[in-house]
A = this chain, B = another copy of it.
Amino acid sequence: MKKNITGKTAYLITIGDELLIGQVIDRNSAWIADKLTGLGIKVKKIISVQDEENEIIDALNEGIEKADLIITTGGLGPTVDDITKKTFAKFLGVHMVYNKDFFEKVKDYVAKRGHTIDDMLFNYSHFPVGTVFLKNRVGSAPGMLFNKKGKKIIALPGVPPEMKSIFTDEIIPLLEKESNGFYILKKTILTSGEIEAALAEKLKDIVLSFPENMSIAYLPNLGRVRLRLTAKGTDKAKLQEQLNEYIEKIKDKIGEYIFGYDNETIEDVLGKMLKERGLFLATAESCTGGMVAHMITSVSGSSEYYKGTVVSYSNEIKEKVLGVKHKTLKKYGAVSEQTVREMVSGVLNVMDCDVAIATSGIAGPTGGTPEKPVGTIWLAAGSKDKIITKKLQLGDNRLKNIETSTVFALDLMRKYLLR
């Protein structure tokens, strides 16, 4: 973290009263900081200030003295409290100038939505002299680029999709061009089904053999661990080759836990596998209480491979709807390998599907016994021909247990399909 190969530093300044009264969490800064770090630029400080001219100018002055790049977000809207543009003009020592093209474009945009044109729009169409516009494909407020004392100052809207769009389309290419010939390539390996420490142990030898310009970060999140590989250097093609080489090595070692790369999700990956194979999935849930179904159906188009779930929060429903045998429940209990196996068979039958997932466990925080403490969870996945199972022993946080076992359950079906 304390090294940055381009040698460049940045200040992030977020502008808006809503941040300082705690109405809004500043999520933009972390997003931008992650991207800048990836570009080899070190973020030295993040500052949130009110919509007040002096506060903004103080922060800009500090930034221009201490860093090579300043990125501000917020305060670019059309209402009177959005004073960022005027403040920038003052900071840069320039006038505001009317931009007719901008006015006409926004007039059209506004008229199409049935609103009327007024003074506000006219004021909104003024910009500091010398503004370099950065295209906003999502909303009306453009990003703005300025130069002062050889430093770059970039102002972005605070609405996250607008900020991200401008940053991705306009700023990243700009910063890459000026990266002093250095490149930072990244690839994220997505895993599920194994904890961070165990993965790190398995990969120890490979990581120790990394060349000096490569590194790995483990980013765990409820049932999933992301492994972020980074390679830095001046030869882009060689870096790509290096990354590919080590990804192959990692795949050889822990391939069974890898469900995807970069921005994929486990529910997307599973959905694609089912669709490719022309299979229909159903689920039978107890402790996950509908979360498995919710994750699957959060994917648009999931009705092409998903039929539904039966959440059975009582033994009665497990017997009546899913056909779990009374004697199984009595002998082994609802939280048992035998029960989740029968839940899979039952829901395959009820929903007339090819494959099914079942979950049963004690989500907590109460309800545990000495033999089956809170956090004991059984999962099953399979078809009429074969069912595989897995037992988890989690903690006592109800919501974490539900989400973690949901992810493990989706992963178990993925593994079943891979056999």
- Are B45 and A33 closer than 8 Å at their CB atoms? no
- Are B289 and A296 closer than 8 Å at their CB atoms? yes
Does A358 belong to the interface (CB within 8 Å)? no
CB-CB under 8 A from A289, the residues of chain B are 293-294, 296-298, 302
Q: Secondary structure at chain A's binding surface: helix, strand, loop or mixed? A: mixed
Does A317 belong to the interface (CB within 8 Å)? yes
CB-CB under 8 A from A308, the residues of chain B are 310-314, 317, 321
Does A46 belong to the interface (CB within 8 Å)? yes
Given A290-B290, A293-B290: A23 and B219 within 8 A (CB)? yes
CB-CB under 8 A from A32, the residues of chain B are 22
Does A262 belong to the interface (CB within 8 Å)? no
Q: What 0/1 pattern do residues 321 to 362 of A give for CB contact below 8 A with B?
A: 100000000000000000000000000001110000000000
- Are B307 and A398 closer than 8 Å at their CB atoms? no
Contacting residue for A313 out of B2, B34, B307, B316, CB 8 A: B307
* In the bound complex, CA of A96 to CA of B19 (Å): 35
Does A37 belong to the interface (CB within 8 Å)? yes
- Are A46 and B47 closer than 8 Å at their CB atoms? yes
- Are A22 and B34 closer than 8 Å at their CB atoms? yes
Residues 46 to 62 of chain A near chain B (Cβ within 8 Å)? 46-50, 52, 55
CB-CB under 8 A from A309, the residues of chain B are 290, 293, 309-311
Residues 279 to 319 of chain A near chain B (Cβ within 8 Å)? 285, 289-294, 296-298, 300-303, 306-314, 316-317
- Are A30 and B25 closer than 8 Å at their CB atoms? yes
Extra contacts besides A21-B37, A25-B29 (15): CB < 8 Å: A1-B50, A19-B33, A20-B45, A20-B46, A26-B29, A29-B48, A290-B291, A290-B309, A290-B311, A297-B363, A297-B402, A298-B402, A300-B365, A306-B313, A308-B311
29 intermolecular pairs with C-beta atoms under 8 Å apart: A1-B20, A2-B52, A20-B42, A20-B45, A21-B37, A22-B33, A24-B30, A25-B25, A25-B26, A25-B27, A25-B30, A26-B26, A45-B48, A45-B55, A47-B48, A285-B293, A289-B294, A290-B297, A294-B294, A298-B399, A298-B402, A301-B366, A307-B317, A308-B311, A308-B321, A309-B310, A309-B311, A310-B311, A320-B350
